[in-house]
Structure 1
Amino acid sequence: MRAAVVRTPSGPFTVEEVRDPSPRAGEIMVQVAACGVCHTDLHIHDGSVAFPLPCVLGHEVSGTVVETGAGVTGLQTGDRVVGAFIMPCGSCAMCAAGREELCEPFFAHNRLKGTLYDGETRLHDAAGEPLAMYSMGGLGELAVMPALAAARLPDELPLIEPAILGCALLTAYGAVRHVADLQPGQTVAVVGAGGVGTSIVQVARALGAGRIIAVDTAADKLAAATALGATHVVNAAAGDAADAVRELTRGAGADVVFEAVGLPATFRQATEIVADGGRCVMVGIAPTGRTAEVEITRLVRRKLQILGSFGGRPRADLPALMRMAADGQLDLRGAISERFTLDQADTAYTRLREGTIVGRAIIEMDAAA
């Protein structure tokens, strides 16, 4: 098969012929139709988050099951599925407690070593040398993943666009539903209107938020957030964002603030925007070791909550998101602003690094070059 391989930090995404993988017990192999272009991949690409190289990135996919390993139930060859970036083992203490977003083998094996849970990768280059897998290694024509990481698409949804359910919207759903525990009518602010930020806007709208305030420094991203459900926007390049949000909320601030950038400045900004007694849900990933400041006295006296959120729970949340999309509560097509071919993977990630992609871009495997 063909896959986009990264061999050196900040090196090119080079499309190579690599050996076809094969699923083992409890796993499925998917013919990838589409893979989302996510900023988290860039932290691996530039070395700001440690991960073994060479590797195949890409961690939100849609496609068709072409082979199943021993013991797989519930999915079969020919099923159209979405694969989640969090790949639960189903048996560790966290998975058993229903906290599969904290699956122990996922972090110990996949995120640290680039392997699946027997300690081995399923990907090898043409010479037989191992290639690390970031999640399922979605920037390839075939991807192997634990069957528990995938959910079958309902017939009424297309195959391509739901790829973004596997990370952008799964991350948003986990933050809004499980961590923020958003209540109907509450005011939400979303700091950062990229692919994940606009997904938070969509999920917050679907789950009953009142006002939804998108905060960014780019007018085109704020326009995209408005199209996807933001009721108000604040351009942080034009003035103090905290003042602007408080003006929109009659001095109160937002009940819940989602930070979707991962920068120290926006982390601090989120704590300044939130209302007294409110919740700051931090979603943006930063380079390893990066820290941020918060005003201690305001945190204590005003009873602010600062909460981390890393994705959702694939077995329950992917089907929930699919139902929301099928019911018209999520606009998958509108969330995707650009489409690239596999041969254009390096261009796609260069554009993402430069900040010129609005919303979410995807790689379509069968698209003509």
Structure 2
Amino acid sequence: MSRLHTTGAVLRRHARARPYDVTLPLALERLSLAAPQPGEVLVRVTAAGLCHSDLSVIDGSRVRPLPMLLGHEAVGEVVELGSAVRDLAVGDQVVCTFVPSCGSCRSCAVGRPALCEQAAAANGSGALLEGGSRLRDGTGAVVHHHLGVSAFSEYAVVSRRSLVRIDHAVSPQIAALFGCAVMTGVGAIANTAALRLGETVLVTGLGGIGFAALLGALAGGASTVIAADVSDGKLSLARTLGVQHTVNVADPQALEQVRDLTDGGVDIGFEAAGAVAALEFTYRATRRGGRTVTAGLPHPEQQVGLAPVRLVAEERTLQGSYLGGCVPLRDIPAYIRLYQRGRLPIDRLLTHEMPLAEINTGFERLAAGEAIRQVVRC
């Protein structure tokens, strides 16, 4: 196959005003898609999730090269293989991961593929791991890839190193969530924070990643799990999922409530709100000797204020978590098995499904805090 055409949601300008269902920052365009290079795969996208990482590009918090075809949390079916791909077959169901692993840089060599240096350079420039873009618009101009995936489209060409084959028994609308929300949330608890049986956990910020972290903490044997958010509706859902305690962070006594519930603070505080105030709250709610982990992505100019003397004297840990510290080929199948056994009820997090034509409405819901995880059917 030389080239095919695909319809995708393209962003051409950052920071358009809300509401997005009126200003329409994403436009459906007919694009041409080059055939996969030797180490690449052509995928028919069957479902793609809407994530704050996409939203941060739309609102300008994360500046990326434009125009760009967005979408990074996705699942699809293999249509065509590059000549060097030997371990996949046409028809396989695959989850896309937003950090491909080159396998040869220092980070990959020490088992930290989320920090792959070649992937970081490619993702930052809007290219695929093998270099360049396979997308062109109607004038022949380059359209950039989003995090090596560009999933808000009927078809995508991605690096083989961005794909994990999974069981066909998992429905696409659920499988898509394992590509970002589940890896990031569950992985942050299991890998980055290294939850030990019986520890206490606070999760601040109940989006898709925060809820996935809650489920990961419950599945991993935490003795007490506390959910914190400003939405009473999301806190109510957290309680139905098995969380023992909830705290509305708009309450002036929220910090004291967490400390009272845990005899001075939690062992693990996880922040997924993407707001400095949420991270500072989570850090203060973590006990002496505890670990505070963040997967939030506030605007790059925002800064956190903390007292280094407490970091030292109380032997605190403050750590970032990207891709949940996951090794996707190892962790995605493991998390899917937990889901299939009923221990990670990820399906409870899916609040909306929509066709690609309604994607701007979906992002307005996300920006307004009215959704947990949404998927478009591509």
Same fold (TM over 0.5): yes
* Residue from 235, 245, 252 that aligns with 2:248: 235
What residue number does 1:346 align with? Answer: 360
Q: Please report the TM-score for the alignment, with normalisation by the length of structure 1.
A: 0.95
Alpha-carbon distance in structure 1 between the residues aligned to 2:67 and 2:109? 33
Give % identity: 36
What residue number does 1:40 align with? Answer: 53
Alpha-carbon distance in structure 2 between the residues aligned to 1:209 and 1:75? 37
Question: 1:206: how far off?
Answer: 1.3
What residue number does 1:355 align with? Answer: 369
Alpha-carbon distance in structure 2 between the residues aligned to 1:229 and 1:66? 40
**Structure 1 stretches of 4+ moved >3 Å:** none
CA deviation string 1:23-47 (max 9, x = no partner): 1121111111110100111211122
Which runs of 5 or more structure 1 residues have no equivalent in the other structure? none
What residue number does 1:212 align with? Answer: 225
Alpha-carbon distance in structure 2 between the residues aligned to 1:248 and 1:352? 31
**Paired letter, 1:65:** V
Question: 1:122: how far off?
Answer: 1.5
**Paired letter, 2:77:** T
Q: Helix, strand or coil: the match of 2:32? A: coil
Alpha-carbon distance in structure 1 between the residues aligned to 2:253 and 2:309? 21
* Residue from 157, 162, 166 that aligns with 1:153: 166
CA deviation string 1:264-291 (max 9, x = no partner): 1111111110011000001101112321
Q: Helix, strand or coil: the match of 1:160? A: helix
* Residue from 26, 29, 54 that aligns with 1:16: 29
Indicate conservation of the 8 Å contact 1:241/1:273, yes or no: no
* Residue from 199, 213, 227 that aligns with 2:212: 199
What residue number does 1:84 align with? Answer: 97
Indicate conservation of the 8 Å contact 2:130/2:159, yes or no: no
* Residue from 335, 339, 342 that aligns with 1:328: 342
**Paired letter, 1:220:** G
Which runs of 5 or more structure 2 residues have no equivalent in the other structure? 1-5, 17-24
Question: 1:57: how far off?
Answer: 1.0
Answering whether residue 299 of structure 2 is matched by residue 294 of structure 1, we say: no
**Paired letter, 2:328:** P
Q: Helix, strand or coil: the match of 1:71? A: coil
* Residue from 5, 11, 15 that aligns with 1:6: 11
What residue number does 1:130 align with? Answer: 142
Answering whether residue 321 of structure 2 is matched by residue 309 of structure 1, we say: yes
Alpha-carbon distance in structure 1 between the residues aligned to 2:119 and 2:48? 20
CA deviation string 1:217-265 (max 9, x = no partner): 101111222233322110112233211101211x321100001112111
Indicate conservation of the 8 Å contact 2:33/2:157, yes or no: no
Alpha-carbon distance in structure 1 between the residues aligned to 2:90 and 2:242? 37
**Paired letter, 1:26:** G
What residue number does 2:22 align with? Answer: none
Question: 1:205: how far off?
Answer: 1.2
**Paired letter, 1:100:** P
Alpha-carbon distance in structure 2 between the residues aligned to 1:269 and 1:351? 25
Alpha-carbon distance in structure 2 between the residues aligned to 1:16 and 1:25? 27
* Residue from 293, 298, 301 that aligns with 1:281: 293
Bigger mean CA offset, 230-239 vs 148-157: 148-157
TM-align CA RMSD:
1.4
Alpha-carbon distance in structure 2 between the residues aligned to 1:71 and 1:49? 34
Indicate conservation of the 8 Å contact 2:95/2:164, yes or no: yes
Question: 1:332: how far off?
Answer: 2.5
Q: Helix, strand or coil: the match of 2:90? A: coil
Indicate conservation of the 8 Å contact 1:88/1:146, yes or no: no
**Paired letter, 1:179:** T
Q: Please report the TM-score for the alignment, with normalisation by the length of structure 2.
A: 0.92
The count of corresponding residues between Structure 1 and Structure 2 is: 362
The alpha-carbon distance between structure 1 residues 133 and 228, as it changes in their structure 2 partners (threshold 3 A), is farther
Alpha-carbon distance in structure 1 between the residues aligned to 2:151 and 2:240? 28
Alpha-carbon distance in structure 2 between the residues aligned to 1:45 and 1:212? 33
**Paired letter, 1:244:** Q
* Residue from 151, 156, 160 that aligns with 1:143: 156
* Residue from 177, 180, 197 that aligns with 1:184: 197
Alpha-carbon distance in structure 2 between the residues aligned to 1:228 and 1:87? 32
